[in-house]
Amino acid sequence: MSAEPLSPSETESRLESLPGWALEGDRITRTFRLPSHFAAAALTVHIARIQDELNHHSDLTLGYNTVALAVHTHSAGGAITEKDLTLAARVAAAAPAHGAE
């Protein structure tokens, strides 16, 4: 996976294939709503496993029935890279199994 920074326009274009994700400043973000706190906690653990597999860790926030992510690549000076989009895609694919909207 490349750690080369993507331009904002390239990032926006690539996010079109990841519904619910948005470019906010220097990060891509998404908040998932879940049916319960337990489901949100389970998704948080699943995301942590994905982050460890990819060796790419984002800001991950657990709320009562929400899970929020803010993702960028520290080693690329805080820019958005392919690593971020890969993480976002893996999380988006896993989230529905936990009841996430």
| DSSP one-letter string for 50-66 | HHHHHT---EEEE-SSE
What are 1's two structure tokens? 């996976």
pLDDT at 1 over 70: no
Domain count, the chain: 1
Q: Tell me, yes or no, whether 89 lies in a domain.
A: yes
Q: Tell me, yes or no, whether 1 lies in a domain.
A: no
Q: Say what the pLDDT of residue 79 is.
A: 92
Q: Tell me, yes or no, whether 15 lies in a domain.
A: yes
pLDDT-derived band at 77 (thresholds 50, 70, 90) equals: confident
Q: Tell me, yes or no, whether 19 lies in a domain.
A: yes
Q: Tell me, yes or no, whether 2 lies in a domain.
A: no
pLDDT-derived band at 55 (thresholds 50, 70, 90) equals: very high
- Tell me, what CATH number does 76's domain have? 3.30.1360.20
Tell me the pLDDT of the chain averaged across its residues. Answer: 94
Alpha-carbon gap, residue 98 to 49, rounded angstroms: 14
pLDDT at 91 over 80: yes
In single-letter form, the type of residue at position 8 comes to P
CA-to-CA dists, residue 26 to 18, 22, 45, 46, 70, angstroms: 17, 11, 25, 24, 9
Domain that holds residue 63: 8-98
Q: Tell me, yes or no, whether 44 lies in a domain.
A: yes
More confident residue, 4 or 2: 4
pLDDT-derived band at 80 (thresholds 50, 70, 90) equals: very high
Q: Tell me, yes or no, whether 3 lies in a domain.
A: no
Q: What is the largest CA-CA distance in the chain?
A: 38
Per-residue pLDDT reduced to its tens digit, 10-51: 999 999 999 999 999 999 999 999 999 999 999 999 999 999
What are 8's two structure tokens? 């904002």
